[in-house]
Structure 1
């Protein structure tokens, strides 16, 4: 079955066997694509300053400015790789001038305080970019 997905804004239709694609082995990248990871990547240095602050809060374990920060993210959109319920947690990235939580979020997978498996969404979960160092 042929699959297509976006990686760093480039449409990828096939992988080379045993090769590397953007730092992922072709097998790992294919697994992520099959599990729903269709977004690109974003360097932590390219994130808005509010997102960098949120990542620092996640690494420190809080305190978080919003009551819903740290709650389980259900991945109902299935845009992130599949994992058991409770694997992902969501955090608000404040939007300057917004009267509510806004649309920006960071979703992290794995143990709390871990920031090595986080995704950024600036459109309330319609798309994600994996955060890389």
Structure 2
């Protein structure tokens, strides 16, 4: 029977396991995923959509103004009904396309997404 030389002392279970990372909460995901965009950097069609929202419509698509569920968890977690979505027309697209404005209940809490909810930018109306 052979013997093994252990260098550095015995290894305990606590030393052998890597630390468990802290769970990523929906709020932390949302904070990391939401950027910002100057209003002046939005496409012209987003300005058209924002103007329609300010006027209360009429909207070009039946889905406009419906509750946005935030299923992806990208935006900060809020109660159902807090967010509403509106289509931003995409030139050359035969359907609604991927661009949206999502509004929150707070004043100037408008988000823009160009990639169908994968990421959002809070619209900064001061620039």
Q: TM-score, normalised by structure 1?
A: 0.71
Total equivalences in the alignment: 103
User: Which structure is higher in RCO with an 8 Å CA cutoff and minimum separation 6?
Assistant: 2
Counterpart in 1 of 2:123? 131
Kept in 1, the 8 Å contact 2:27–2:77? The answer is no
Partner residue of 1:51 out of 40, 43, 46: 46
Q: Secondary structure at the match of 1:58?
A: helix
Distance, in Å, in 2 between the alignment partners of 1:54 and 1:78 is: 23
- Equivalent pair of 1:35/1:82 in contact (CA under 8 Å): no
Q: Does 1:108 align with 2:100?
A: no
Equivalent residue for 1:5?
none
Question: Would you say 1:67 and 2:62 are equivalent positions?
Answer: yes
More strand by percentage: 1
Tell me how large the CA RMSD over aligned residues is. 2.2
Q: Which runs of 5+ in 2 are unaligned?
A: 1-20
Q: Gapped runs of 5+ residues in structure 1? A: 3-31
Task: Label 1:41 to 1:33 Cα distance change in 2 as closer, same or farther (>3 A).
Answer: farther
Deviation per CA, 1:42-77: give whole Å up to 9, x if none: 011110000011011111111101110000000000
- Structure 1 runs (4+) deviating above 6 angstroms are none
Q: Is 1:41 equivalent to 2:41 in the alignment?
A: no
Q: In the TM superposition, what whole-angstrom CA distance separates every residue of 1:94-126 from its partner, at most 9, and x where no partner exists?
A: 000000000000100117xx5x00100000001
TM-score (norm 2): 0.74
Q: Work out whether 1:97 is the aligned partner of 2:92.
A: yes
